[in-house]
Chains A and B, each alone.
Chain A
Amino acid sequence: MRHLVELARDGDVDAFSRLASASIADLYAVARLILRDAPSAEDAVQEALVEAWRSIRGLRDPDRFDAWMHRLVVRMCRRHGRARTRRNVVELHLLDTDAPEPEDGSLSLANRDEIERGFRRLPVEQRAVIVLHFYRGLPLTDVAEILAIPPGTVKSRLHRATQTLRAALEADAREPGLTKGRIA
């Protein structure tokens, strides 16, 4: 990996292609989870790779390539999250609240919808912290390094995000009749 980064830094597009090939699945998964929208996630990944190629000469430590790429993807996700704010239509799904809870530890349909609804209410910055921490399993210090923000800020974003989610889940629990809404 380190050698490929050094080659790409020197302008070797084949080396960069191999780096992109090795990392694109991870990057797409992160973008897809943050944005909750496949076309936007594809765009974010493409734009992150283009930006990486443009500026990889400035990556002084080749071992930081993976963290740096994630940072670029999160940055592009923030751009896409912003671009949609002028026409932000969120369709909420019809809930089958009578469906039985699964017994194998997985989430029920209603549970998934509750979390989905709460997650969509979070700004992209908070979604990114949640995805990097709970999906990628990164410690908060690594999340801070990827996002280039102080660890304290990561903690506060995570705290705020989980507070918002918890409040949303509890509100849903109090209003089992909630079925469909549109935020325009």
Chain B
Amino acid sequence: MTQPVDLDRRLATWLANEAPVGTPEGLLERSLVRVGRTRRQPTWLTVVRGTAMGRGATSPRLAYTLVVIGLLVAAFAAVLAVGPGSRNVLPPPPTPVPSWDSSLAPVFGLPGRFAFASDRGDDFDIYTMNPDRTELRQLTNLPGDDVSPLWSPDGQRIVFMSSRGGDPRIYVMDADGTHATLLVDGSGDDLLGAWSPDGTRVAYTDGTGTVHIIGIDGTGDRKVEIRSSSVAVGGMGVFDWTPDGAELVIGFDTSPEGGDLQIYRLGIADGGLTPLNTSPVDDGTPALSPDGSRIAFQSDRDGGCLFVMAADGSNVARLTTGCSKGFPKSWSPDGMWIGWAGARRVDHDQPWNISVIRGDGSGRTELTDSRDIVDLDWGPSP
């Protein structure tokens, strides 16, 4: 048995041994170059969130937030006073103040509604808003990260990952943030996933890379066994479900050594794999258009960035250069636009903002500038 004091000592010793001496050459200089290129926040956005960092005069924005919180507390007390039957009703999170610059250009004509995760607070929470940046709503606010929201096909519910209970688990809630319930009490390494076209099931991968399908009521969890001995499976992710309900669009690492992501279609009934335009470089984060005819995906081919191809892997066309990689893409409900948010660590100049582009590569626009948004999912209006 490892004694507490012994473990504390071992940890402290290990950390002291592992701590780097000094900083990598040029890190300060590179950082300062980036600082020199960075626009500062406007004054009205500069309240530091949290507890102790923002001591001092109360800003109008903070005052507004306090008033909203006060009203919500009063409303909650009123709900409690109604009777025992209402005690399981939690108050919704306060209406959030946009974290992006209010002077951004207006947006017109984009359909549907966005769901996304943001760490504008002290952890990741899930928000929704219209693509024109109106009707911003915060759906979750419990301690722990709430990420990877996915709209149901009818826009009435959202599945998401949450670490509110410790390790990340898959939950489902109504589109207004109420009635959040645990859907998959897995190993903590599960990953979402996709809704079935009829909205009755959800596909996800467990920590071993095995694909599962579970009913949205939490019943009928079953594995989809992959029938192939020709590929090594690692880093598996389910990204979409074909409109006919027969196949999943998945991405996984086909190299035993890692580092060769490819996109496949996986037959749900027979476990058959169909490669889609495999290349010697990474292809990933595929998103199927609503009518199932096209797939948007990220690729390192030809200098890398966002591409589209037909659903059978033919007719690959580049949409952008120099965009962020690694985060999910999502089509607008009318199939005209592709949206994404977030940037992987290798892309210093790609902030965590929402971007959209038409399916033909025109009209690329960055809709937010707050650098705090990931996991965009573009769903129908509830």
A145 contacts B371, C-beta separation under 8 Å: no
Residues B23 and A28 in contact, CB atoms below 8 Å apart? yes
Question: Which of A20, A135, A148, A165 is close to B50, meaning CB atoms less than 8 Å apart?
Answer: A148
Say whether B78 faces chain A, with CB atoms less than 8 Å apart.
no
With contacts A115-B11, A153-B143, A184-B235 known, is A46 near B19, CB below 8 A?
A: no
Task: List, in ascending order, chain A residues with CB within 8 A of B54's CB.
Answer: 58-60
Whether B345 contacts A80 by the Cβ 8 Å rule is yes
Measured between beta carbons, the chain B residues less than 8 angstroms from A32 are 18-20
Given A58-B48, A67-B52, A79-B119: A53 touches B258 (CB 8 Å cut-off): no
Interfacial chain B residues near A56, Cβ < 8 Å? 40
- Which residues between 143 and 185 of chain B lie within 8 Å of chain A, taking CB atoms? 143, 145, 147, 163, 166-167
Contact A57/B43 with A28-B20, A40-B345, A64-B52 known, Cβ cut-off 8 Å: yes
Q: Does B326 contact A (CB under 8 A)?
A: yes
A21 CA to B209 CA, complexed, in Å: 43
State whether the Cβ of B222 lies closer than 8 Å to any Cβ in chain A: no
Asked if B31 and A162 make an inter-chain contact with CB atoms under 8 angstroms apart, the answer reads: no
- Evaluate contact between B51 and A145: CB separation under 8 angstroms: yes
B261 CB within 8 Å of chain A: yes
Q: How far is the CB of A122 from chain B (nearest CB, A)?
A: 10
Inside 8 A of A20's CB, which chain B residues have their CB? 28, 31-32, 35
Whether the Cβ atoms of B7 and A107 lie closer than 8 Å is no
Query: What's the least CB distance linking B45 to chain A, in Å?
Result: 8
Give the CA-CA distance A59 to B46 in the complex, in Å: 8
Check B48–A55 contact: CB distance below 8 A.
yes
State whether the Cβ of A29 lies closer than 8 Å to any Cβ in chain B: yes
A50-B38, A145-B52, A149-B143 known; A33 vs B15 contact (CB < 8 Å): yes
Q: Which residue of chain A has the shortest Cβ distance to B47 in the bound complex?
A: A58
B48 to chain A, nearest CB (A): 4
Q: Give the interface SS of chain A, mostly helix, strand, loop or mixed.
A: helix
The B3-56 residues at the A interface (CB cut-off 8 A) are 4, 7-8, 10-20, 22-24, 27-28, 30-32, 34-36, 38-41, 43, 45-56
CB neighbours of A180 from chain B (8 A):
none
**Complex alpha-carbon distance, A149 and B27, angstroms:** 30
Q: Can you list, as one digit per residue, whether each of B333-377 has a CB less than 8 Å from chain A (1) or not (0)?
A: 000000000001110100010000000000000000001001000
Number of contacts between A and B (CB, 8 Å)?
Answer: 198
Closest to A38 in B: B24
State whether the Cβ of B283 lies closer than 8 Å to any Cβ in chain A. Answer: no
Residue in A43, A59, A106, A182 whose beta carbon sits within 8 Å of that of B13 in the complex: A106
Q: Are A42 and B122 in contact (CB under 8 A)?
A: no
**Given known A28-B27, A89-B235, contact A60–B48 (CB-CB < 8 A):** yes
Alpha-carbon gap, A109 to B124, bound state (A): 37
- Does A87 touch B at the CB level, under 8 Å? yes
In the complex, whether A97 has a CB less than 8 A from a CB of chain B is: no
Contact B39–A54 (Cβ < 8 Å): yes
B253 CB to closest chain A CB (Å) equals: 6
A106 to B13, CA, bound (A): 7
Contacts of A57 in B (CB 8 A): 40-41, 43, 46
- Contact indicator per residue, chain B 247-269, by CB within 8 Å of chain A (1) or not (0): 00000010000100100000000
Most B CB contacts (10 A, CB to CB) among A11, A24, A134 go to: A134
Does A170 count as interface, using CB distance less than 8 angstroms? yes
Q: Is A51 an interface residue (CB 8 A)?
A: yes
Question: Contact at A86–B35, with CB atoms within 8 Å?
Answer: no
User: Within 8 Å of chain A (Cβ to Cβ): is B229?
Assistant: no
Q: How far is the CB of B152 from chain A (nearest CB, A)?
A: 22
- A13 pairs with B35, CB closer than 8 A: yes
Q: Which residues of B contact A28 (CB under 8 A)?
A: 20, 23-24, 27
B119 smallest CB distance to A (angstroms)? 7
Please indicate the chain B residues that have their CB under 8 angstroms from the CB of A53 in the complex.
35, 38, 40
B31, B48, B53, B326: which contacts A49 (Cβ < 8 A)? B31
Q: Known contacts A82-B147, A125-B163, A130-B11; can you find 16 more A-B pairs with CB under 8 A?
A: A16-B35, A17-B32, A20-B35, A29-B19, A46-B34, A49-B35, A56-B40, A58-B41, A58-B45, A61-B55, A83-B344, A87-B261, A107-B10, A148-B51, A165-B7, A183-B207
